[in-house]
Amino acid sequence: MTTSRRRTELAAFLRSRRERITPADVGVPAGLRRRTPGLRREEVAQLAGVGVTWYTWLEQGRPINVSVQVLDAIARTLRLDQTEREHLYRLAAVPSVPGPAVHERLEPQVQTVLDGLVPLPAAVLTSRYDVLAWNAAYAAMWPKVLEDDVPRNLIWRMFVTPECCSPMVNRDEELPQMVATFRGAFGRHLGETSWTELVHRLSSASPEFAEMWAAHDVAVPATRVKIFQHASVGVIRLSVVNFAVTATPETRMAVYTPVDAESRERVQWLIDHPGAPAVDHVHAATIGAE
């Protein structure tokens, strides 16, 4: 079952990467009657130096053997970046790209580190965007994320929470990045129930997520400036930096630093007033992700 899912994902990923490369990008004449967006399969095969039939079978998800050297050639032809290349290797089950398991047990010292970072909001997340631990500043900023009646999963909250109650202001920039990061990790967990069910539930609950998921973009967590709206203080701009929690595979500590004095003052006010409401109205309870 896992192998079949992996092949299906590999096929869709290759098609999506092929379709984004134009003939002009690689010096191929466009010609007439081009019905396929991007490159044709035979063009990719020729540029990568592999057989057309073999590449067609690979893109169709057939159970064929593939070497690192051939994948390298395909990755160069499709202009994959490092994250996309590693994603391709994992989907093709190439052993040179290991995938660590996700664990949710944290050492007690991690909470001590989180608490010591106040007044900076900080939390430990899994590669699935589950929130495992947080400090008082994080709880003051995003109290609804930590409610007991719904899963503490950021990607679920971002897509299923009504937009009027979403804390994210620059959604158009950040949500595609979240989905791409999530998909990059998903490639290591094909066939695992918790991951597959979360994708299915998200796709059913959010057409916006389903559309972004279908794009097959992949990424890794990166330093970014995120803009949030809190009903009690207004707009807060934070730069987020991620640090690996090496004792717990596939987890990271996300630390949020205010980028200006106004944002810093607003975060401190929220810490000093932990009961301040994050939104100015109430919706019915959100359906759980699991």
Residues forming beta bridges with residue 254, ordered by sequence position: 123, 242
| Contact status, residue 289 vs residue 198, Cβ threshold 8 Å | yes
Note the residue count of the chain.
Answer: 290
Is the CB of residue 160 less than 8 Å from the CB of residue 151? no
> At 132, is the secondary structure helix, strand, or coil?
strand
- Rounded to whole angstroms, the Cα distance separating 156 from 247 reads 26
In the prediction, which pLDDT does 212 show? Answer: 96
The tens digit of pLDDT for each residue in 219-274 reads 988 899 999 999 999 999 999 999 999 888 889 999 999 999 999 999 999 999 98
Q: Output the pLDDT for position 149.
A: 64
pLDDT at position 145 is 86
- Where b means 16+ CB within 10 Å and e means fewer, 168-192 reads beebeebbbbbbbbbbbbbbbbbeb
d(CA 262, CA 119): 14
Sign for the CA dihedral angle at 50, 55, 57, 63 comes to positive
- Can you give the pLDDT at residue 79? 92
Domains with residue ranges and CATH for the chain:
2-91 (1.10.260.40), 108-272 (3.30.450.180)
Q: What angle do CA 27, 12, 186 make, to 5 degrees?
A: 120
pLDDT digits (tens, 9 = 90+) for 264-278: 999 999 999 988 888
For Cα atoms 183, 186, 192, give the angle at the middle one, nearest 5 degrees.
150
Q: DSSP label at 130?
A: B
Mean pLDDT per segment of 10 residues, for the chain of length 290 residues? 79 92 78 72 90 90 84 91 88 64 76 97 95 95 81 90 86 94 90 88 95 94 92 95 91 97 97 87 52
Is 175 within 8 Å of 158 (Cβ atoms)? yes
Question: What pTM did the predictor assign?
Answer: 0.78
3-state SS class at 56: helix
For residues 33 and 136, give the distance between their C-alpha atoms in angstroms, rounded to a whole number.
Answer: 61
> CB–CB of 30/117 below 8 Å?
no
